[in-house]
Structure 1
Amino acid sequence: MPLAQFTRIAAAIHPDVHAIHIREKRRTARELRDCVQELLHRGIPAHKIYVNDRLDVAWATRIGGVHLAHHSLPVKEVAALSHALRIGCSVHSVAEAKQAANDGADYMFYGHIYDSPSKPGIPSRGLAQLQAVANVVSIPVIAIGGIQPEKVTEILQHGAQGIAVLSGVMKAHDPVGRVRQYAEKLNERR
């Protein structure tokens, strides 16, 4: 997605979400910095903005946090370097979840919960595994992967503290309306 389109959608939905996660693996540090600056210019508070795998960009722009992938710097090393950034990471098993929590992660993404077009041919992990992860950590577990609004209640019933949605919002005909559908389901449980 072009960054101009991403920032326009992010600015429109930010009042209804807790975080805007920039996940652009092929962008340069400068492009990501420019994206963050545009989000800030559009009124999104810095504490709501997270960047995937780019600790340098997160520090330079003083945003809310950095989200680490399996190929990123280890959580423990990033946590030792930074007390100002929230540190999240993606996990795919109970063992990875325990390790991330022990190493100082502030939250984790777990998934993919349901079949997802972004993970073709890879079996979903499902609700039982989500519950198993949530049972062994004390930090928030955010479910990700193939989540539709009608599935939010069961996700929260299986231990997730929240959800992360990419294509379900960014590819929606009406992203604001779609975010509000998710928010309504999340707020029913809170």
Structure 2
Amino acid sequence: MADNNRISSSAIRNLLKVYFITGSVNCRLSPTEVLSEALAGGITLFQFREKGKGALTGRGKFELAQNLMQLCRAHGVPFIVNDDLELAIALDADGIHVGQDDTPAGMIRRRLGAGKIIGVSVHTLQEAQQATQDGADYLGVGPVYPTSSKEDAQPVNGTRLIEDLRLQGIDIPLVGIGGITLSNAAPIIAAGADGISLISAIAQADQISEAARGFVKTVEEGLRLRG
């Protein structure tokens, strides 16, 4: 597939505004109910991340992913798979997000083709430069704040790394992740990120749709202020 079938950076930036990530282990309600409410609240991108104690495997994982992808498709929201390249291929998912210990973006691109979204988690300038060189569509930068959603979380960076990446000329779409709440989201956008990634702040919210709406409003206001 030719490079001109790649999704544009401007389109990726719009998709990253409110990027919801979850799996069965993160949800108080059923994952389908949680995602339905999050979609109703206006999330712009979804990542299926089925990891942690009690996570589904095999057929159960595949069927849940399939159901959640159908919900996303019905709302016009792209469906991203965390780490699992074979699952992404089997589902014909819209893309994949990988960490530093996973398959490099360049190899993934050869498997998935140009039209799929590839995101890479980065924690340093060098990792960001390498992921960009490898052909990532966006970078997940964090953890910005302390988080309990990921057992293997890296040291907290605050917004400093996002600011540094922009100052060093990294203009690829960026999304901040880690410990983000309504009260601390605005500085991430001010620092230069295009959006925020959220797990528990939406999945564990008492009013999921309202929480998602609040994040959409905060991000859009932050982007307007930044100009």
Which 4+ stretches in 1 moved above 6 angstroms? none
Quote the Cα distance in structure 2 between the aligned partners of 1:40 and 1:122. Answer: 29
Q: Which residue does the alignment assign to 2:32?
A: 7
Give identity over the alignment, percent.
28
Instruction: Tell me if 1:83 matches 2:109.
Output: no
TM-score, with normalisation over the residues of structure 2? 0.75
Quote the Cα distance in structure 2 between the aligned partners of 1:89 and 1:122. Answer: 14
Q: Which residue does the alignment assign to 1:54?
A: 84
Shift of 1:183: 0.7
Alignment deviations for residues 42-75 of structure 1 (CA, whole Å, 9 cap, x no partner)? 4644751111011111112112110111221111
Higher relative contact order (CA 8 A, sep 6+): 2
Farther off after superposition, 28-37 or 173-182: 28-37
Instruction: Tell me if 1:34 matches 2:60.
Output: no
Quote the Cα distance in structure 2 between the aligned partners of 1:77 and 1:42. Answer: 29
Alignment deviations for residues 78-115 of structure 1 (CA, whole Å, 9 cap, x no partner)? 12222232101111111101110110000111101012
Quote the Cα distance in structure 1 between the aligned partners of 2:71 and 2:163. Answer: 37
Q: Which residue does the alignment assign to 2:165?
A: 133
Secondary structure of residue in 2 paired with 1:9? helix
Are 2:39 and 2:209, in contact at CA under 8 Å, matched by a contact in 1? no
Are 2:46 and 2:72, in contact at CA under 8 Å, matched by a contact in 1? no
Counterpart amino acid of 1:125?
N
List gaps (5 residues or longer) in structure 2: 1-23
Q: Which residue does the alignment assign to 2:15?
A: none
- The correspondence of residues 17-28 of structure 1 with structure 2, limited to 5 A, is 17-25=43-51, 26-28=55-57
Are 1:109 and 1:144, in contact at CA under 8 Å, matched by a contact in 2? yes
Are 2:142 and 2:157, in contact at CA under 8 Å, matched by a contact in 1? yes
Instruction: Tell me if 1:109 matches 2:109.
Output: no
Over the aligned positions, Cα root-mean-square deviation in angstroms equals 2.3
Q: Which residue does the alignment assign to 2:95?
A: 65
Q: Which residue does the alignment assign to 2:175?
A: 142
How many residue pairs get matched? 190
Q: Which residue does the alignment assign to 1:95?
A: 126
Q: Which residue does the alignment assign to 2:19?
A: none
Alignment deviations for residues 117-163 of structure 1 (CA, whole Å, 9 cap, x no partner)? 33689641011222112343221110001111122221111010100
Quote the Cα distance in structure 2 between the aligned partners of 1:122 and 1:53. Answer: 17
Counterpart amino acid of 2:164?
A
Are 1:64 and 1:85, in contact at CA under 8 Å, matched by a contact in 2? yes
Quote the Cα distance in structure 2 between the aligned partners of 1:126 and 1:187. Answer: 21
Q: Which residue does the alignment assign to 1:159?
A: 192
Counterpart amino acid of 2:45?
A
Q: Which residue does the alignment assign to 2:17?
A: none
Counterpart amino acid of 1:109?
G
Q: Which residue does the alignment assign to 1:176?
A: 209
Quote the Cα distance in structure 1 between the aligned partners of 2:117 and 2:191. Answer: 24
